[in-house]
Amino acid sequence: MKRVLLTGGAGFIAHHTIKHFLENTDWEIVSLDRLDYSGNLNRISDMMSEFSSKDKKRVRVVFHDLRAEINEMLQSDLGSFDFIIHMAASSHVDRSIDDPMCFVMDNVVATCNILNFARKNKKLERFIYFSTDEVFGPAPEGVNYKERDRYNSTNPYSATKAGGEELAVAFENSYALPVYITHTMNVFGERQHPEKFIPMTIRKVRDNESVTIHSDETKSIPGSRHYIYAKDVADGCLYLLNNQKKISKLKKDYGGAKCPKFNLVGPVELNNLELAEKIAKSQNKKLKYEMVDFHSSRPGHDLRYALDGSLMKKIGWEPKISIDERINQVVNWTLKNNRWL
């Protein structure tokens, strides 16, 4: 049986990854988490309630703060792994602007510590560093960034994620650590933190409140993203792990230091007003909204992010279900499980 270590397993995206791996593999899964504001054990326990006692035994949660190195005692307790997926991170842009050093510790120092642990795992087949579209910075209309495009961080969060990426690339080239890097953007799904746009919009539409739509300074152009469902992100990661031979045959155009990178991209681009309208339609309600100039007045917040997902399509992966169906699914689930709002 293969073993996989997920850092930040009690977080939003990672707990969906645990669920997807339980459903589609027989692997043993270890979650390493410090359980802060973004890591919630209730997510794991709520999700695990859907599984048999046999499957539940395949999951273990270990408390550790990756700002501290993984010492010999913890190394011995954890054992060795076939795969490590590093999802733990601080990801709140406003918090990064208020306290950049905290994000350096969480996203750079912590990444170095898990990379150091990974290179001591002699059986390791693959390390995935989970990164963000924000490392590329704002995308002009018509531009979708490819994996090897230049980075242009506009806030401490994205800068520290880019720093973590560079460490992962360095470990591949210095220590032959088998690394993949993934970029994704605006993930949504069940059990998301209620401050995020989609659960907040679900709640405001339900309660007949006005939804704030972030826009440009003219208050006429909403911000836009390629939203992607959390299970699709997990499925993309699993596809990468299961298709390493196919990936190894790709033409290697690293532009210098080697390390394969992949964009996990949602099916279509939506602006925030279109998304809010879809959420309102799912509840059979008329959307009340206000356009607010959010981007010109707040540093580090960009109007448009966009990634090119053609490389993943080339190797045979893309989301299988439409964004409308996923939105309806999440709206219906959230309204029935409103403790998550």
Higher pLDDT, 107 or 302: 107
Q: At what angle do helices 12-24 and 230-242 cross, to 10 degrees?
A: 50
Mean pLDDT (the chain, rounded): 94
Domain 192-224+269-302+321-340 maps to which CATH number in 3.40.50.720, 3.60.21.10, 3.90.25.10, 1.10.287.70? 3.90.25.10
**Is-catalytic flag, 157?**
yes
Residue 151's pLDDT is what?
A: 95
The pLDDT tens digits of the residues spanning 39-59 come to 788 999 999 999 999 999 999
For residues 294 and 300, the answer to whether their CB atoms sit within 8 Å is no
User: What is the predicted pLDDT for the residue at 92?
Assistant: 87
Q: 28, 33, 106, 133: which one is catalytic?
A: 133
Report how far residue 214's alpha carbon sits from residue 303's, in angstroms, rounded to the nearest whole number: 8
Confidence at 298, pLDDT banded by 50, 70, 90: low
Q: Is residue 61 predicted with pLDDT exceeding 70?
A: yes
Domain with CATH 3.90.25.10 in the chain: 192-224+269-302+321-340
Catalytic residue among 33, 106, 134, 235: 134
Residue 66 has pLDDT above 80, yes or no: yes
What is the tens place of the pLDDT at every residue in 224-235?
999 999 999 999
Amino acid found at 303: L
Rounded mean pLDDT of 117-135? 96
Q: For this structure, is 133 an active site residue?
A: yes
To which H or E segment does residue 263 belong?
strand 261-264
In contact, 16 and 38? CB cutoff 8 Å: no
Confirm whether 308 is a catalytic residue.
no
User: What pLDDT score does 20 carry?
Assistant: 98
- The enclosing H or E element of 225 equals strand 224-225
All CATH 3.40.50.720 domain ranges in the chain, comma separated: 3-187+225-264
d(CA 147, CA 144): 10
For the cut 80, the answer to whether the pLDDT of residue 294 exceeds it is no
The pairing of beta strand 270-271 with beta strand 224-225 = antiparallel
**CATH number of the structural domain 3-187+225-264:** 3.40.50.720
